[in-house]
Amino acid sequence: MWRQGAFSLAYLTVDGAGPLEHIAAAAEAGYQSAGLRILPPRHLAGAPAVVGNVPLIRAIKRACSESGVSLLDAEVVSLTPVSTRAQLQAVVDVAAELGFSFIQTVVEDSDARRAADRLAELADIAAAAKTGVALEFMRFRAVTDLQSAMRLIDLAGRPNVQVLIDALHLARSGGTPEQVATLSPDSIALAQLCDAPAAAPPDELLAREARTARLPPGEGALPLGALLDALPDGVPLSIEVPNTAHETLDYAVRARCALGATKSLRAHKYRYR
């Protein structure tokens, strides 16, 4: 049962913030950690990246030192059929320099054997840098659900690869907290928390919901209390609540509201079973 662990501010909660604004919002709102986007996902071609920006890397290190905010997960490595070792190495090098605990990873390759080899390669590079790999599943990607994520992790065969449990993706892929409870505690890297209506949108709108229409914990119908019961104590909770209705709010206000809702859920979690 999850009782305590670090609260981390996920990038999408403050979507649009630069890394320094993100860290400042996390500190002001009372988070212990933050998950930064250091390499934009493939669907945001041309978006600025931290990787390769030496002055920004130095500024991030300084901001973390001054604010006391640690860095949890670095977004995002997309494993594709054409991913190269050099590309993976570049992300790991920056993540290690900044002190991230995990490199957040998604798979865009339907060939399971090839994807597992790429995942193992990334894990080996990360292990040399003393960094973990957090594999996230989503119904609209090649690794669609918890079972397929665990199969891929087993196929890769690397101890520093763990699964990332996102409350929304778990629900939309047909997964349950009871399935999470069967996992060994050391197989879970972190959990991302949000809420949503019980009914899923059409398949073609799943990605949009995940990126723009999540609800603060406790304001939807996901079984978040049961998920907290299923998570091992001490697993970091990344609060990921992107919603276009929040776009006019200051980054720190968004961060504070999301954390307040999460803490209220924790205090009264049995109401949400």
The string of pLDDT tens digits covering residues 205-245 is 999 999 999 999 999 999 999 999 999 999 999 999 999 99
Tell me the pTM.
0.95
The DSSP string of 65-124 is HHH--EE-EEEEEEE-TT--HHHHHHHHHHHHHHT-SEEEEEE--S-HHHHHHHHHHHHH
What does the alpha-carbon distance between residue 158 and residue 180 come to, in Å, rounded to a whole number?
A: 20
pLDDT given for residue 41 in this prediction: 79
43 in any annotated domain = yes
pLDDT given for residue 270 in this prediction: 46
Calculate what percentage of the chain has a pLDDT beyond 90: 91
pLDDT given for residue 139 in this prediction: 97
pLDDT given for residue 138 in this prediction: 97
Domain range for 46: 7-272
114 in any annotated domain = yes
pLDDT given for residue 266 in this prediction: 84
232 in any annotated domain = yes
pLDDT given for residue 48 in this prediction: 73
2 in any annotated domain = no
184 in any annotated domain = yes
Q: Characterize 213-227 residue by residue with b for buried, 16 or more Cβ atoms within 10 angstroms of its Cβ, and e for exposed.
A: bbbbbbebebbbbbb
The string of pLDDT tens digits covering residues 95-152 is 999 999 999 999 999 999 999 999 999 999 999 999 999 999 999 999 999 999 999 9
Whole-angstrom CA distances from 226 to 54, 170, 180, 201, 272 are 43, 13, 10, 23, 8
Looking at every residue in the chain, the average pLDDT score rounds to 95
The string of pLDDT tens digits covering residues 234-272 is 999 999 999 999 999 999 999 999 999 999 988 876 444
25 in any annotated domain = yes
3 pLDDT tier (thresholds 50, 70, 90): confident
Is 233 in contact with 5 (CB distance < 8 Å)? Answer: yes
Number of domains in the chain: 1
1 in any annotated domain = no
We report the CATH number of the domain holding residue 37 as 3.20.20.150
**What percentage of the chain's residues is helix, strand, coil (to nearest 5)?**
45, 15, 35
